[in-house]
Each structure stands twice: as C-alpha cells, then as structure tokens.
Amino acid sequence: MASITSVSYDRTKELKQFDDTKAGVKGLVDTGILNIPKFFVRPAEDLAADELNSAHKNIEVPIIDLSNIGDSIRRQEIVNEIRIASEEWGFFQVINHGIPLSVLDEMIEATRLFNEQDLELKMELYSRDGAKKVVFNSNSDLYTSQSADWRDSLRLTSFESNPDSSDLPPVYREPTMEYNKHINILVETLFELLSEALGLQPDHLSSMGCNKGCSIVSHYYPPCPEPELTLGLRKHADAGIMALLLQNHVTGLQVLHDDQWFDVHPARGGLVVNIGDLLQILSNNKFKSVKHRVTANRVGPRISVVCFFSGHADMLEEPFGTIKELISETNPPRYKEFVLKEYIDKVLSSPIDSKPAIDYYKL
C-alpha cells in the first residue's frame, strides 16, 4: 500500500509542477523534451486494446454536400443523407455550407497565433475556474483523469448570438466574432435538417432552444515525441446536443464505428457535425451519440475549433426528455425525464472518460 501511496503522491506533485508553469503542453515541447512525462502515458490495458484495433479501413465518415439546398428535391436528399449518417455513424462532414474558406482559415490561424504568442499573454488567461467566460488551460480534468491528454485549450463559455468581444484575447478576437456570426446561420439550417430527419417540423429543435448555449473550444495539439503512448483527446461521447468542428489539415480525429476506429480525414472547407448525448435522448435513440477521440501525432500542430451546443439557458430548470412526438406504444421512451441543470453539473464534475451522465437516466 505504501508504494501505491508514494507513486500517487509523486504523480500529484508532477501534475502540480506542470500546471504551475501555466505553459501547457506546448511549453513542454518548447523545452525540447524527448520523452513525455509519465502522467501523459495511457494505462497499459488501453495501449494493448489499441494493438488489437489497428486494421486498415477504407470506409469514410459520410460527407454531405449542402449545395442547392433551396431545391426541394435536393433538400429531401440531404435530409435523408443526414438521417442515415445520424442513425448509423453519429458523425458526418458538411461541405458547401456557405461559410467562406477565408473565414475558416482565419479562425484556424487565430487559434495558432494565440497558442504561439508570448507565454506571458497566455498565462493571464490560464485558470481552472469553470465560472470564467474565457479560460486557457491544459486538460480541464488534469487532476482527476487516469492520464492527461496531449493538448492545450482555450474555452469561451456561453458564447451566445451577441457576445462581448472585449473578453476575447486580442489576436483571437475578430476572426472568432466573424466565425461565430457565420456559425449561427449554419446551425439554424443544420437543426432544421436534423428536425426534418426525425420526421418533425423544420423549426422543432430550434424552437426548443437547441441551437443556443454555444461554447467555443479551440484545441492546440503540439507535435508529440512519443505519440504511441498518449492521446490528444481520450475516448468520449459529447454530453451536449450537437457539436460542430473545424479542423486543420493534420489528421487525428477518430470515430468508433462497429467497434473499430475510423479516421475522420479533414475535407478542405469541411465542418464535422456530431450528435451529442442530449440529442440521442431527444430522439429516443434514433440518432446516435458515439465515442470518438483524437490521436497524438509526431507532426503538428493539429488545430481544431469546436462549437458545442447545449441548449438555451431557459431550458436548464425545465424537465428534459424525449420529444413527445417521437414516442408511441411501439416506441416507448428509453430515458426518464430529468432537470438539465443537474445533468450538466454531473457532466462538469466528472473526468472526460468516466461513466457518461446519460447512463444515469436510461430506463
């Protein structure tokens, strides 16, 4: 027992030393390390499981072209493609979505500039206080997870339609405001298509407030000297309603499908859409929220920007459950109703790879 205690004590000390630098993973890389610190190394059983799951796969996560969406016949085809992708994969990429390439590129570049600026400027935002609107840190669950992930993150919480830009870091400010403006338009369309794919009226999900409660998280994954020992982001499913992800050209995102990991190759100008646990509940399991992860790479940086939609603030105190129109005698509810605030508190207090909050509400 004494040896276990001493190891855990050393680990805590190492974690605190890393955290106290406020320099994140990039700070480690900048020192020229050749071996990753022990607290980034994944458990042996996880590494062994990956050895069994390294088959070569040619199947791609669906890519859906949103061009000509104004044409009624083409729109119905798009709705059908989204329905199949949401039922079978829980993930798809959209192209020709109307957001200019320049806006996407500038958002990626702003994330790079923020992470590669003078450390002193980043350190001002380094915090573990979840109540703050803008937070920079490495691993939100650093002290509670089995192993740390190889990435740094900038989080903008509750980034609603008209956010206060003065909260944002200067190098990040204008591109983020412009990107957010375009995302708000696209998300309206996506929730219409998802509503129709469920057999509902186009405005159903948005009228509930599903297109609100946006948080933007920009991830920076530096090159890793020992990528086979760690991950950029551990296996997890998203707890919210839907996520929309922009990624640069460096691969790493993988989706668990038929018990195999599939790479989500970045499509130029593409945005990745994934179903979250709350939308799986709303749809009564018709749409799937699936596990995904990000591998570490020797090359980099990999950069991604994720917009998480978790619902309007007014929904927090209301009962939450499966959409009534989707329940019948032959399709009874799979989840009990709950208060959304309790669910979110459960999510925020747990490590990324712990038991999902959704499991507590299954019938």
pLDDT tens digits for 12-45? Answer: 999 999 999 999 999 999 999 999 999 999 999 9
For domain 2-361, give its CATH number from 3.40.50.2300, 3.40.50.300, 2.60.120.330, 2.40.10.10: 2.60.120.330
- Give residue 53's pLDDT: 63
Q: What is the pLDDT of residue 252?
A: 96
Return the pLDDT at 2. Answer: 42
Q: Which amino acid is at 227?
A: P
Supply angle C-alpha 320, 322, 324, rounded to 5. Answer: 110
Q: For the segment 281-292, what is each residue's pLDDT rounded down to a tens digit? A: 999 999 999 999
Tell me which of 48 and 314 has the higher pLDDT: 48
Render pLDDT for 49-59 as a digit per residue (tens, 0 to 9). 886 565 556 78
Domain boundaries, the chain: 2-361
Q: How far apart are CA 338 and CA 360, in angstroms?
A: 10
Q: Using one digit for the tens of pLDDT, what is the confidence trace for 192-241?
A: 999 999 999 999 999 999 999 899 999 999 999 999 999 999 999 999 99
Q: Looking at the chain, how many residues does it have? A: 363
pLDDT at 91 over 80: yes
Phi, psi of 195 (to 5 degrees): -60, -50
| Cα(154)–Cα(176) distance, integer angstroms | 12
Residue 302, pLDDT above cutoff 70: yes
Give the Cα separation of 30 and 118 in Å (integer): 12
As a whole number, mean pLDDT of residues 324-339 equals 95
